[in-house]
Amino acid sequence: MKRFNYKFYLRKAHRYLGLFIGIQFLFWTIGGLYFSWTKIEEIRGDHLRNKAETIKIDGTLISPQPILDQIREKEEVAGVARVNLIEILEKPFYEIRFLPAHGGSHQQKIVVASALDATIRPAVTKAEAEKIAAAALLKPLAVKESLYLTPENIGGHHEYRSGALPAWAITFDSPDELTVYVAAENGQVGSFRTNEWRAFDFLWMLHTMDYRERDNINNYILRGFSILGMITILSGFLLFFASSPLVRRLVTTKTPRPKTANPPGFDENK
């Protein structure tokens, strides 16, 4: 009866699994090298930002109460989530986030009004967004393109994900294709996106194997490849121990040889 050659099938399984998983292992390694050799501050574009730490105030700030009264005149308010003092084009404003009475708990609305006279401010225009984005830069650059982003036209995956919408995407004429995103409702500068960040995002997509949202590390593709990768590694260990001459010698040494019976007429004393 032919003996089952498990080593042959183990080698075959390890070889094809290694070829299949090896491509993804290569992507993980390249991504890991890029992540470890780059600074996250430069990926985020922090070195390009003009970091203003103070708000210019020319005058006396009023209470936010008159602004809240104006809001209540137009609609019922269930509660105020937050009141922030922000700056738009070197002027102080109150950003009031509130919950409408007939909306859900996550449907916050935003009203921006002057912190000097309670005048409610309209959404940021294209020209204002370009000025805000230019003022956020450490060095002056010329505006190349301005796009207005809404939930309807932003599409599926976008480099400005999880940011406030609507927003202005202001792209500058620079070697790294810098784009600054400005929220239209409150005029606040959001993400800086450069070619370095786009390369990081592409490698992060290959790393997480989330080809849609990029950040979901609990997707089934990643789980499946992780399991296959573990099987490939374990099969390699098994193949090593099954094929190692040293292991075979150790096993043979520890296993006692069976005693054989002496043939008839054999005298061991002779």
pLDDT of the residue at 7: 67
Q: What is the mean pLDDT of residues 77-92?
A: 92
pLDDT of the residue at 175: 93
Q: State the Cα–Cα distance between residues 118 and 114, nearest whole angstrom.
A: 5
* 198/232: higher pLDDT: 198
Is residue 115 assigned to a domain? Answer: yes
Is residue 255 assigned to a domain? Answer: no
Is residue 104 assigned to a domain? Answer: yes
Dump pLDDT digits (tens) for 136-172.
999 999 999 999 999 888 876 789 887 889 999 999 9
pLDDT of the residue at 12: 74
Is residue 76 assigned to a domain? Answer: yes
pLDDT of the residue at 14: 74
Judge whether residue 208 has pLDDT over 60: yes
Is residue 28 assigned to a domain? Answer: no
Q: How confident is the model at residue 228 (pLDDT cuts 50, 70, 90)?
A: confident
Is residue 63 assigned to a domain? Answer: yes
pLDDT of the residue at 212: 83
Q: State the Cα–Cα distance between residues 181 and 162, nearest whole angstrom.
A: 12
Q: What is the 3-state secondary structure of 138-154? A: CCCCCEEEEEEECCCCC
Residue type, 66: P
Is residue 89 assigned to a domain? Answer: yes
Judge whether residue 260 has pLDDT over 60: no
10: Cα separation from own chain's centroid: 38
CATH number of the domain enclosing 86:
3.10.450.40
Which residue range is the domain that position 81 belongs to? 53-121
Dump pLDDT digits (tens) for 174-185.
999 999 999 999
Q: State the Cα–Cα distance between residues 164 and 214, nearest whole angstrom.
A: 18
171 DSSP β-pair partners: 145, 179
Is residue 117 assigned to a domain? Answer: yes
Number of domains into which the chain is organized: 1
Its pTM stands at: 0.79
Q: What is the mean pLDDT of residues 110-118?
A: 95
